């Protein structure tokens, strides 16, 4: 992970501003070109199986972004992805690759369901707040433990977070089928339905629940945390070189555990939103793979919390179009996964393009 801390060389007037814009534009332009290359490659793939790429992309546009309903569809799917992507992006700033956000989502959902079940009769806002706190604690403790194992015992966080996601899903199944099961949930074991006052409704005009608003706010807050606070600065230093950060006296342990726990808490909130806004109770439907799509989004956004918003909308739009693509073009549902794969690979490959174009390096212009 490259910590962007190169000192700006003094320059004058407009060329300073232009240089600043160009430096900022580098990741955007390279990512966009890489994405277009991915889409074009996928077009070749479609031609190879005898389908029209133009029709395909028309359908993707139509089903994902072409009408009010399409936008509702896309926004609803994006809501949990914003938070689950942050669970990858925040630890990534410390150089940690955490891929087990799914575990925090399901346990956050179960904790929220349990809180709703055991704390009945409170005013709606307080009940919802209690569910959010329970979910954030469950998710934060789960991924925070990954960070703690990494820091104190040197356990590889990628492997441990993935394995802990499986444990989390097994734990969720045990809880909703055992101690927390509502006896009335016969063929779909679930916790007892939370009461109506604890349900979270839709945002005005958007036709999607407040999880989207929470996700966008969380992305902005995380961007501020990373780019505009000394904590974020310290995290980026530690991500660039842990030893150097320790020598400088930075609290690397607290940073590692804090950032992983924060990421887990946000993923836990995604699970809470699924319970409070969609399902009304916690059950096995919580393990819907949002945690894994979040990995893809965080990497595509290069772990920039603000970039997560458009990337999540784009991938949600792809997923929203999956149905229409299946029905109109008679392609299997995995088609959209192949498309995501192509884009993912071209964007990862584009990492090698950084720093190679003088256009984005204004301080090198005159040195020549």
Read off the tokens for 164: 């802990």
The whole-angstrom separation of Cα 317 and Cα 314 is 5
The whole-angstrom separation of Cα 104 and Cα 300 is 21
57 versus 231: smaller Cβ distance to other proteins = 57
104 versus 146: smaller Cβ distance to other proteins = 104
The whole-angstrom separation of Cα 12 and Cα 186 is 72
The whole-angstrom separation of Cα 199 and Cα 275 is 8
CB of 179 to other proteins, least distance (A): 10
The whole-angstrom separation of Cα 218 and Cα 211 is 10
The whole-angstrom separation of Cα 287 and Cα 109 is 10
CB of 262 to other proteins, least distance (A): 25
53 versus 240: smaller Cβ distance to other proteins = 53
Token pair 């004058």 is found at 12
CB of 29 to other proteins, least distance (A): 30
139 versus 232: smaller Cβ distance to other proteins = 139
- What dihedral angle (degrees, nearest 10) is formed by the CA atoms of 7, 10, 16, 20? 0
The whole-angstrom separation of Cα 220 and Cα 213 is 11
CB of 340 to other proteins, least distance (A): 14
Question: DSSP 3-state assignment of 368?
Answer: coil
28 versus 54: smaller Cβ distance to other proteins = 54
Phi/psi at 48 (5° precision):
-65, -30
Contact footprint for other proteins (CB under 8 A): 47-48, 50-52, 54-55, 58-59, 62-63, 66-70, 72-73, 76-77, 170, 173, 177-178, 186-189, 274, 278-280, 283-285, 288-289, 319-320, 322-324, 326-329, 332-334
76 versus 304: smaller Cβ distance to other proteins = 76
CB of 246 to other proteins, least distance (A): 41
CB of 90 to other proteins, least distance (A): 24
């Amino acid at each position: 992970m490259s910590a962007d801390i190169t000192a700006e060389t003094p320059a004058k007037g407009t060329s300073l501003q232009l240089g600043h814009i160009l430096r900022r534009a580098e990741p955007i332009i390279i990512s966009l070109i890489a994405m277009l290359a991915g889409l074009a490659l996928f077009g070749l793939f479609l031609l190879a199986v005898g389908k029209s790429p133009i029709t395909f992309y028309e359908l993707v546009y139509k089903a994902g972004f072409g009408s009010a309903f399409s936008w509702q569809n896309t926004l609803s799917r994006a809501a949990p992805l914003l938070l689950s992507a942050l669970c990858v992006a925040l630890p990534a700033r410390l150089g940690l690759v955490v891929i087990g956000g799914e575990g925090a989502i399901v346990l956050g959902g179960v904790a929220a369901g349990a809180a709703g079940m055991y704390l009945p009769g409170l005013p709606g806002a307080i009940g919802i707040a209690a569910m959010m706190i329970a979910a954030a604690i469950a998710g934060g403790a789960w991924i925070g433990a990954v960070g703690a194992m990494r820091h104190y015992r040197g356990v590889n966080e990628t492997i441990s977070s993935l394995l802990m996601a499986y444990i989390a899903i097994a734990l969720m199944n045990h809880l909703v089928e055992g101690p927390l099961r509502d006896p009335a949930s016969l063929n779909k074991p679930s916790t007892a339905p939370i009461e109506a006052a604890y349900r979270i409704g839709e945002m005005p005009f958007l036709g999607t629940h407040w999880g989207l608003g929470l996700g966008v706010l969380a992305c902005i807050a995380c961007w501020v945390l990373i780019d505009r606070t000394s904590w974020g600065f310290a995290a980026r230093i530690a991500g660039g070189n842990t030893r150097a950060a320790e020598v400088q006296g930075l609290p690397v342990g607290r940073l590692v555990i804090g950032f992983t726990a924060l990421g887990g808490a946000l993923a836990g909130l995604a699970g809470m939103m699924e319970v409070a806004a969609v399902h009304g109770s916690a059950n096995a439907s919580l393990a819907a793979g949002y945690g894994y799509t979040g990995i893809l989004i965080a990497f595509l956004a290069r772990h920039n919390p603000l970039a997560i918003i458009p990337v999540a909308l784009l991938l949600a739009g792809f997923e929203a179009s999956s149905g229409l693509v299946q029905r109109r073009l008679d392609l299997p549902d995995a088609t959209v996964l192949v498309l995501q794969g192509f884009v993912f690979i071209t964007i990862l490959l584009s990492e090698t393009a950084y720093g190679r174009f003088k256009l984005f390096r204004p301080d090198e212009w005159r040195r020549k």
